[in-house]
């Protein structure tokens, strides 16, 4: 095989993770993965990388930030040292990418500030600290949270929340302005399309809808549950943890689909009142361990998180701790032997972009052009040592490129399918056949695939009852095809077909799903995963939101609902390394989302990359796939 340093290639749609697997069907040999070749299409584990996690704790009495090493196994902390500078009465800290943001309360004055520090990517030390924006002050500034390119700062005395834009290169802030106005805000946290601020004086929590594109907030209201002097709040999956200072308890609540709370109950935190009698301020969860600070305390409480409850709590301290308040963490991922790269097609730019992927944070970086000979590129997949890119120029061609050991594309050539096909909107390779959705002709194409040279031949039409197919995906003996529409015709449905796994590979007996009926929402590029509880298909509705459907025993779609991603105009969903990546082709943005394995719903989405192409015009992102290499 050429390129000896190549470990294996895989489409995002073909990756399996801890507790979740790609639903490409088959025996686990990898031969019938519907995406790209992987070690096994029932791979049980996520990509293994070495991780080092540091915890940052602010000390109000000494105006210092302490950095401690977090043990990856038991959650204990050690090697605590002070780091950074230019802090004054720090009350909260938030980490975003390689920057730490510290809010300086300055004794509840109107002259509060934010200090930003660069994080050393080798040892977590805070360096080059400075106040930002220069000359800007914040009244009674409290707990900050950075999210999707913005820093949000809560205000206790005057109330409300301020939003500042983060410069992705320098980390500095700009354009700070109020986005919510409620009294007594202590800290702000996010759960996809909702924000939550604790209101200490009124015993309430304020909920707002968040625009994922510009970070604005609207439709603010109170959650239906009151608490006794709520201080800190932490969101983990579909659970909210609230530090209730008035009664010395930590509450856990379920977050409903409308963002409200229910099922609130006390965690194990208060079982030993003699040990845990101090009023809790902040909560942080790192690697299934909870870290809790308390009012006017030099101690940190560490609890194990088991089935979303806090257990086996212990208190620790350090000579550097001096009236602890907010905490945050930073994880360094060491993948010296691996290179993960993603390929993103930009149809209207007629280009394919290669970006590096951080296996710890899922962030994309160093995006650059690669390959040539494309024809308005649409979808992309990788098989063996080749990448295959669909075309949107009406030719029906597929571009094949060699993938080099450094991820760069070379030797790109166009391969013809058949004159009956024009637009190749989506591609899958399944059982040594290449299948594609020909959007304009309302056809599914099937070609023989030669794995030795990546060539295709004998391309014919297959499938029935298909109208404007956008995407195709396989699971076991079933094929799932989204159908959107054109020229005023919008079927907006999902068709479920049988696939003949014999020598012919024919797709037939296609029937429209009765459960998936979203109306005029344009379902597009899909993906399927399997969790310990079920198999799920994720269907982005380009004009609305991501739909999650469970796959029943007979292959039919059931329980279709909003996946709660909060992402507007999603176009593609792809699964890779414990994340569901969602691409929005109109605003040049890629998100990485967590999935709740108990119900398949999306629990948290963060921006992996904005302005991937660097183009000032609309590039129309269309496809995404990933390669994993030995360096």
Question: What residues contact 48, with CB distance under 8 A and at least 6 apart?
Answer: none
67 and 188 fall within a common domain: yes
Q: What is the residue range of 207's domain?
A: 50-334
Domain presence at residue 192: yes
| pLDDT class of 230 with cuts at 50, 70, 90 | very high
Number of domains in the chain: 2
- Mean pLDDT of all residues belonging to the chain: 86
Q: What H or E segment, with its residue span, contains residue 378?
A: strand 377-383
In this structure, the answer to whether residues 418 and 314 fall within a common structural domain is no
Tokens describing residue 457: 């031949």
Rounded CA-CA distance 121/365 in Å is 15
Residue 82 near residue 98, CB atoms below 8 Å? no
pLDDT on residue 631: 67
CA angle 455, 577, 389 (to 5 degrees): 25
- Where a domain ends, among 334, 353, 378? 334
pLDDT of 5 strictly over 50: no
Binned at pLDDT 50, 70 and 90, residue 268 comes out as low
Q: Domain with 109 in it: what CATH number? A: 2.120.10.30
Cα–Cα distance between 238 and 194 in angstroms, integer? 12
Residue 579 lies in a domain: yes
Is the domain of 311 the same as that of 397? Answer: no
Q: Choose the weakest-confidence range: 245-254, 255-264, 614-623.
A: 614-623
Residue 31 has pLDDT above 60, yes or no: no
* 29 has pLDDT over 60: no
* pLDDT tens digits, 75-87: 999 999 999 999 9
Report if residue 1 sits inside a domain. no
The verdict on 298 and 231 lying in the same domain is yes
* pLDDT reading at 162 higher than 80: yes
Residue 115 in any domain: the answer is yes
- Please give the Cα distance from 508 to 537 (Å, whole number): 20
Query: How many other C-beta atoms are found inside a 10 Å radius of the C-beta of residue 576?
Result: 29
At 60-72, the pLDDT tens digits run 999 999 999 999 9
413, part of any domain: yes
Strand stretches in 36-183, DSSP E? 50-59, 64-70, 77-83, 90-96, 99-104, 113-119, 126-131, 141-147, 150-155, 161-166, 173-180
Domain assignment of residue 3, yes or no: no
Does residue 566 surpass a pLDDT of 80?
yes
Q: Clarify whether residues 526 and 617 are in a common domain.
A: yes
Name the β-bridge partners of 204. 199
On whether the CB atoms of residues 206 and 190 are closer than 8 A, the answer is no
Highest-pLDDT range among 305-314, 395-404, 531-540 = 395-404
In three-state form (DSSP H/G/I as H, E/B as E, the rest C), the secondary structure along 409-438 is EEEEEEECCCCCCCCEEEEEEECCEEEEEE
Tell me if 580 is assigned to some domain.
yes
Burial 477-512 (b: 16+ CB within 10 A, else e): ebbbbbbbbeeeebbbbbbbbebebeeebbbeebee
Phi and psi angles of residue 476, each rounded to the nearest 5 degrees, phi first: 55, -125
**456 and 599 assigned to the same domain:** yes
Q: Give the integer Cα–Cα distance in Å for 198 and 229.
A: 9
Tokens coding 272: 């030993």
Burial class from Cβ neighbours inside 10 Å (0-12, 13-18, 19+) for residue 2 reads exposed
> Do 240 and 105 belong together in one domain?
yes
- Percent residues over pLDDT 90 in the chain: 59
Per-residue pLDDT, 157: 85
Q: How far apart are CA 275 and CA 259, in angstroms?
A: 34
Closest CA to 438 of 478, 477, 400, 472: 472
Q: What is the number of other CB atoms lying within 10 angstroms of the CB of residue 25?
A: 24
CB 443 within 8 A of CB 436: no
In the chain, the largest separation of any two C-alpha atoms, in whole Å, equals 79
Residue 24 has pLDDT above 50, yes or no: no
- Using pLDDT thresholds of 50, 70 and 90, give the confidence band for residue 181: confident
Q: Lowest-confidence range among 29-43, 283-297, 324-338?
A: 29-43
134 and 281 fall within a common domain: yes
- Residue 9: pLDDT over 70: no
Of 264-273, 409-418, 423-432, where does the model show the most confidence?
A: 409-418
Average pLDDT over residues 460-472: 92
Residue 148 scores a pLDDT above 80 = yes
Domain C-terminal end among 334, 356, 391: 334
254 touches 241 (CB < 8 A): no
**Is residue 491 domain-shared with residue 384, that is, in the same domain?**
yes
Q: How many CA atoms lie within 13 A of 411 on its CB side?
A: 9
pLDDT computed for residue 102 by the predictor: 98
CB 590, CB 582: distance < 8 Å:
yes
Return the pLDDT at 33: 31
Give the residue with greater pLDDT, 502 vs 343.
343
On whether both 339 and 218 belong to a single domain, the answer is no
Q: Domain check: are 102 and 237 in the same one?
A: yes
- Evaluate the omega torsion of the peptide bond into residue 170 and state whether it is cis, within 30 degrees of 0: no
Mean pLDDT along residues 311-326? 92
Name which residue leads in pLDDT, 435 or 618. 435
Cβ–Cβ under 8 Å, residues 383 and 398: no
Say if residues 619 and 349 touch (Cβ distance below 8 Å).
Answer: yes
Positive or negative torsion for Cα 582, 583, 586, 587: positive
Residues 6+ away with beta carbon under 8 Å from 514: none
**Best CA proximity match to 350, nearest among 318, 314, 374, 329:** 374
Provide the pLDDT confidence category of residue 272 given band limits of 50, 70 and 90: low
Q: What is the mean pLDDT of residues 217-235?
A: 93
- pLDDT score recorded for residue 225: 93
Determine the pLDDT at residue 514.
Answer: 83
Which segments of 183-260 are extended strands (E)? 185-191, 194-199, 204-210, 217-222, 230-236, 239-244, 249-255
pLDDT band at 274, cuts 50/70/90? very low
In a domain, 362, yes or no: yes
Sorting pLDDT into bands at 50, 70 and 90, what band is 296? Answer: confident
Last residue of a domain, one of 334, 366, 393: 334
> What is the helix (H) or strand (E) element at residue 503, kind and residue range?
none
More confident site: 339 or 34: 339
The proportion of the chain whose per-residue pLDDT surpasses 70, expressed as a percent, equals 89
More reliable by pLDDT, 564 or 605: 605
CATH number at residue 364: 2.130.10.10
Which two structure tokens, joined as six digits, stand for 274?
């003699």
At 283 the pLDDT is 95
Cα torsion angle, 521, 522, 524, 528, sign: positive
* pLDDT score at 485: 63
Q: What is the mean pLDDT of residues 3-20?
A: 35
* Residues 93/327, Cβ–Cβ less than 8 Å: yes
Q: Same domain for 491 and 504?
A: yes
105 near 142, Cβ under 8 Å?
Answer: yes
């Amino acid at each position: 095989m050429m390129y000896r340093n190549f470990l294996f290639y895989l489409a995002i749609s073909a990756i399996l993770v801890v507790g979740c697997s790609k639903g490409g069907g088959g025996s686990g040999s990898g031969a019938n993965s519907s995406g790209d070749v992987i070690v096994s299409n029932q791979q049980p584990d996520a990509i293994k990388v070495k991780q080092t996690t540091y915890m940052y704790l602010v000390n109000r009495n000494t105006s210092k930030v302490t950095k401690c090493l977090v043990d990856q196994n038991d959650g204990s902390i050690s090697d605590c040292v002070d780091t950074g500078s230019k802090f004054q009465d720090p009350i909260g800290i938030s980490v975003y990418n390689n920057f730490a943001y510290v809010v300086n309360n300055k004794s509840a004055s109107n002259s509060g500030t934010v200090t930003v520090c660069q994080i050393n990517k080798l040892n977590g030390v805070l360096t080059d600290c400075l106040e930002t924006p220069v000359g800007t002050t914040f009244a009674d500034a409290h707990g900050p949270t950075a999210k999707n390119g913005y820093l949000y700062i809560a205000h206790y005395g005057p109330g409300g929340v301020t939003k500042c834009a983060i410069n992705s290169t320098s980390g500095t802030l700009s354009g700070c302005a109020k986005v919510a106005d409620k009294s007594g805000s202590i800290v702000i946290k996010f759960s996809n399309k909702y924000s939550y601020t604790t209101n200490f004086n009124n015993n309430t929590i304020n909920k707002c809808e968040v625009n994922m594109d510009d970070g604005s907030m609207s439709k603010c209201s109170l959650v239906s549950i009151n608490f006794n002097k709520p201080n800190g709040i932490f969101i983990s999956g579909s659970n909210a943890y609230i530090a209730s200072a008035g009664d010395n308890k930590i509450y856990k609540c379920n977050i409903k689909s409308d963002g409200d709370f229910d099922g609130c109950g006390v965690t194990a935190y208060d079982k030993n009142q003699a040990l845990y009698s101090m009023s809790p301020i902040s909560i942080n969860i790192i690697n299934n361990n909870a870290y809790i600070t308390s009012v006017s305390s030099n101690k940190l409480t560490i609890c194990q998180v088991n089935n979303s409850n806090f257990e086996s709590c212990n208190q620790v301290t350090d000579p550097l701790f001096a009236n602890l308040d907010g905490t945050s963490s930073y994880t360094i991922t060491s993948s010296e032997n691996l290179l993960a790269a993603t390929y993103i097609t930009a149809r209207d730019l007629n280009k394919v972009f290669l970006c590096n992927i951080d296996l710890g944070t899922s962030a994309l970086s160093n995006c650059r052009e690669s390959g040539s000979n494309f024809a308005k590129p649409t979808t992309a997949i990788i098989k063996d040592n080749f990448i295959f890119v669909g075309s949107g120029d009406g030719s029906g061609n597929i571009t094949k490129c060699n993938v080099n050991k450094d991820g760069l594309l070379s030797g790109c050539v166009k391969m013809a399918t058949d004159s009956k096909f024009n637009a190749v909107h989506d591609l899958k390779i399944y059982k040594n056949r290449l299948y594609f959705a020909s959007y304009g002709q309302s056809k599914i194409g099937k070609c023989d695939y030669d794995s030795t040279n990546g060539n295709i031949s004998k391309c014919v039409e297959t499938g029935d009852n298909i109208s404007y197919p956008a995407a195709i995906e396989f699971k076991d003996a079933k094929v799932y095809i989204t159908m959107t529409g054109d020229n005023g015709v919008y079927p907006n449905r999902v068709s479920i077909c049988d696939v003949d796994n014999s020598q012919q590979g024919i797709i037939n007996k296609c029937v429209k799903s009765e459960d998936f009926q979203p109306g005029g929402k344009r379902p597009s590029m899909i993906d399927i995963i399997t969790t310990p509880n079920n198999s799920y298909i994720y269907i982005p509705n380009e004009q609305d939101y991501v739909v999650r459907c469970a796959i029943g025993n007979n292959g039919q779609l059931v329980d279709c609902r909003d996946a709660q991603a909060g992402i507007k105009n999603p176009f593609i969903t792809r699964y890779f390394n414990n994340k569901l990546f969602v691409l929005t082709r109109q605003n040049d943005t890629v998100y990485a989302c967590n999935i709740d394995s108990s119900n398949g719903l999306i629990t948290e989405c963060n921006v992996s990359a904005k302005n991937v192409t660097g183009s000032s015009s609309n590039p129309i992102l269309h496809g995404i796939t990933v390669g994993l290499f030995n360096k």
